Amino acid sequence: MKDSVRIGMIGAGHIAHSHAEAWRKEASLTAVASRRIESARSLADRYGIPHVCRDVDELLNRSDVDAVGITTPHHLHHPIALAALNAGKSVFSEKPLAMNGSQAREMWLAARRYGAKTGIQSGLRLFSALRLLSRLLRDGTAGRVHTFDAHWSFDWARQPDFPLTWRFRRAEAGTGALGDLGVYMIDAARWLVGEISQVNAELALYVTHRPLLTAEDHFGELRRKHREGELDIPRETGQVENDDVCQLMLRFENGARGSIRASRLHQEHTLRVDCERTSYFWQMEGGGDLMERASDDKYMPVWVPATSHDDSIVTTFLDNIRQDRDEAPTFRDGLAAQLVIDAAVESNDTGRWVEVERI
């Protein structure tokens, strides 16, 4: 039944609004908890969530919560997911799944031990053009994949006076552009081409200091206030601790090669896959058509069939619960992406190609 899965949300910040929209269309929103009860209350009022919990434990103790959706800063995904699994809940988590591969592995193994369903936010898998590309690559008409090249960049941090939030601190965010943005393309690379076996990466920091602002605005509100000049920006600055831009070179198990660039200072959303007989190019902006070029021809749009589905980020997770299956993306995919992130960090530190740990 459409509304039979009862959801408790943990985190009530910027992205929690998109999650609440998705949950309320496809499931039943029962409860919400956040760090500050006022944030939880405000989300509850807006989306008609009946119970506001004082803290995470109170939410996890509720018998009317079957599954938990986590939208907190990155360092909390691991402890909250483990506590939720331990309390018998299924868990859907924002990306990146954890702070490192060993945390992610612990989460995946715990879910398997409890027989719980898991899901991760992996928005690129929802684009119709990319779903078609995935089918075209699988059916083999394009031939073997030679190269995968992708950019996933949002320039929200381009201005050096954008304040120092948790996203710039290693203890709360882990890596910067890599874990926040590059992770999407790591997941897309695995989904479209196959497992990544080796990585050579460079992580770059350009804006080393940012204003220390104590305001507790959520991400979207902070961006709006910054854009509209409503922030009283202090002169005191703090150290940025993670990457503004990451560049990864990839080797895939099937022999394909690839590259990924992600940045929080620039803007670009493109993906191309060059195969033996055909090349494909996709750009999110401007309609998001899938373009193809067979030989000497121009790039031409590929007709993307209209879909009857209206999947959201949570559809696969909810279907997995209802149908007792484990279709990707689950924590296993979150772990796989995390292992690539770990390899990229090691490669940046050592200046060498690094083997990606196998699951």
If the CB atoms of residues 89 and 95 are measured against ligand NAP, the closer one turns out to be 95
The residue (of 76 and 290) whose beta carbon lies closer to ligand NAP is 76
Choose, by CB under 6 A, the member of 6, 151, 218, 269 that binds ligand NAP. Answer: 218
d(CA 252, CA 264): 26
CB 168 within 8 A of CB 240: yes
34 is a site residue for ligand NAP (CB under 6 A): yes
Work out whether 31 is an interface residue with ligand NAP (CB under 6 A).
no
Q: How would DSSP label each residue in 50-69?
A: SEE-SSHHHHHT-TT--EEE
Among 72, 263, 316, 348, which residue interacts with ligand NAP (rule: CB under 6 A)? 72
Q: Give the CA angle between residues 343, 349, 354 to the nearest 5°.
A: 35
Q: Is 73 in the site for ligand NAP (CB under 6 A)?
A: yes
Residue 76 lies near ligand NAP (rule: CB under 6 A):
yes
The residue assigned the tokens 């331990």 is 86
Rounded to whole angstroms, what are the CA distances from 82 to 62, 98, 319, 330, 338?
A: 16, 11, 22, 15, 17
Binding ligand NAP (rule: CB under 6 A), the pick from 28, 71, 263, 347 is 71
HEC profile of 279-326: EEEEECCCCCCEEEECCCCCCEEECCCCCCCCCCCCHHHHHHHHHCCC
H or E stretch covering 252: strand 245-252
Among 26, 66, 149, 180, binds ligand NAP (CB under 6 A): 180
Within 94-123, the residues that bind ligand NAP by CB under 6 A are: 94-95, 121
Q: For ligand NAP, which is the closer residue by CB, 10 or 248? A: 10
Q: Are strands 290-293 and 279-283 parallel, antiparallel or unpaired?
A: antiparallel
| 284 scored as a contact of ligand NAP (CB under 6 A) | no
Q: Of the candidates 57, 64, 216, 236, which one interacts with ligand NAP according to CB under 6 A? A: 216
The stretch near ligand NAP (CB under 6 A) out of 216-224, 260-268, 337-345, 351-359 is 216-224
**Rg of the chain over CA atoms, in angstroms?**
21
Note the residues at the interface with ligand NAP (CB under 6 A): 10-16, 34-36, 39, 56, 71-74, 76, 94-95, 121, 180, 216, 218-219
